[in-house]
Amino acid sequence: MGEAVNSRVVKTVCRICSGECGLDVHTESGKIVKVEGMKEHPVNRGEICPKAAINFLFRRFTDVLGKTCLCHHGE
């Protein structure tokens, strides 16, 4: 048997701009695995803009690469 995965959905707001859209942040064992627009939020109604989507994708990508990323210049 594999290690148990602790899955959660954290309801929060995006702070990238002043829109403060609602977000559902999905985590597994404390790591963000998916970010969605919060369906019941009156501002964005389940949507997420490209600026926020790219931001979270970039964060996940750099988290996966970690210290093996060449952009860290071997630090």
Q: How far is the CB of 32 from ligand SF4 (least distance, A)?
A: 15
Q: How far is the CB of 63 from ligand SF4 (least distance, A)?
A: 19
Give the binding range for ligand SF4 (CB under 6 A) out of 4-12, 19-27, 56-64, 66-74: 19-27
Mark 25-63 as b/e (b = at least 16 C-beta within 10 Å): bebeeeeeeebbbbeebeebeeebeeebeeebeeeeeee
When asked if residue 36 is in the footprint of ligand SF4 (CB under 6 A), the reply is no
Tokens of residue 16, six digits = 């990238």
Task: Please give the size of the binding site for ligand SF4, defined by CB under 6 A.
Answer: 11
